[in-house]
Amino acid sequence: MHITLAPMEGVVDHLMRDMLTEVGGFDLCVTEFVRIVDQLMPKRVFYRICPELHNQGFTSSGVPVKVQLLGQHPVWLAENAYRAVELGSHGVDLNFGCPAKTVNKSKGGAVLLREPETIFQIVSAVRKAVPNDQLVSAKMRLGFEDTSLAIANAQAIADAGADSLVIHARTKVDGYKPPAYWDWIAKIKRAVNIPIVANGEIWNGLDAYNCRLQSQCENIMLGRGALAMPNLAHVIRNAQAAMPWEHVKTLLVRYSGYELYGDKGKYYPNRIKQWLGYLSRQYPQAEELFMEIRALKKSEEILLQIQS
């Protein structure tokens, strides 16, 4: 089984990737997307989204990182894909799943699932631009409003030369509302001849088992579930018990150190509250801590409360 840490815009940045991969159990990380419009992005943009490029594309614990691109223009996506792998990205991933309205309005992410031919052109251009020894993958949802083009989109991605495909088992309209339709992944899997990775609504070991059973996929991608239970990859892979709350608190303090003294310190209050929101799904103590800090705006006050 191969387990990937999902890209989550504004949530799983390089700090979170570093911490979760050190907890362990992951084989690969995918970055937040680099948004491509009509130019070759400066190298600094790639280094900002993926500082691991300074470490040959690995997290500090040695897990490879792949840059994700989002856009609609095949030529510019191809140019930027080549740059990403040139800088050290372990292949490149293409985003056909982002449900954000601002992204979809500019014809990026999930809205492209209305146009299998455009998807084919994008993947084809990127595959031709990227060296053969570098893997090109894509991530898609089951569709935009419905699943009517799910198989057509997956076939477009496969026929264009992608090496693998992650399927988030919901449509754009579904958003993140449960359930995830894992059985749909199995239908798509039977229609294409490339490896498929299952994603969506995996919060614990039983979810992972049911997802793999219904999707008929060996490999999975974890997103929000890994934020709610930091050792979820080990829970799934090694039947490990959920991380004790005291260990989670240690991670919260460590993450606070990352954020307070890193380049995103001003976002720390919102980031830590957001993470506690995910953790509260598995830990009642996280909900209590959130209630204690929710009105606090100063980072130092929040950290003191976490440490108390």
> Are the C-beta atoms of residues 91 and 136 closer than 8 Å to each other?
yes
Q: How far apart are CA 98 and CA 180, in angstroms?
A: 16
Q: Please enumerate in sequence order all residues whose Cβ is within 8 A of that of 112, keeping only pairs 6 or more positions apart, or say none.
A: 72, 96, 118, 119, 122
> Are the C-beta atoms of residues 202 and 213 closer than 8 Å to each other?
no
> Are the C-beta atoms of residues 52 and 28 closer than 8 Å to each other?
no
Among 50, 98, 211, 217, the one annotated catalytic = 98
Long-range contacts of 24-27 (CB under 8 A, 24+ apart): 24/61, 24/231, 24/233, 24/234, 25/231, 25/232, 25/233, 25/234, 25/236, 25/237, 25/238, 26/63, 26/222, 26/233, 27/2, 27/3, 27/63, 27/64
98 is known as an active-site residue: yes
Active-site residue numbers?
98
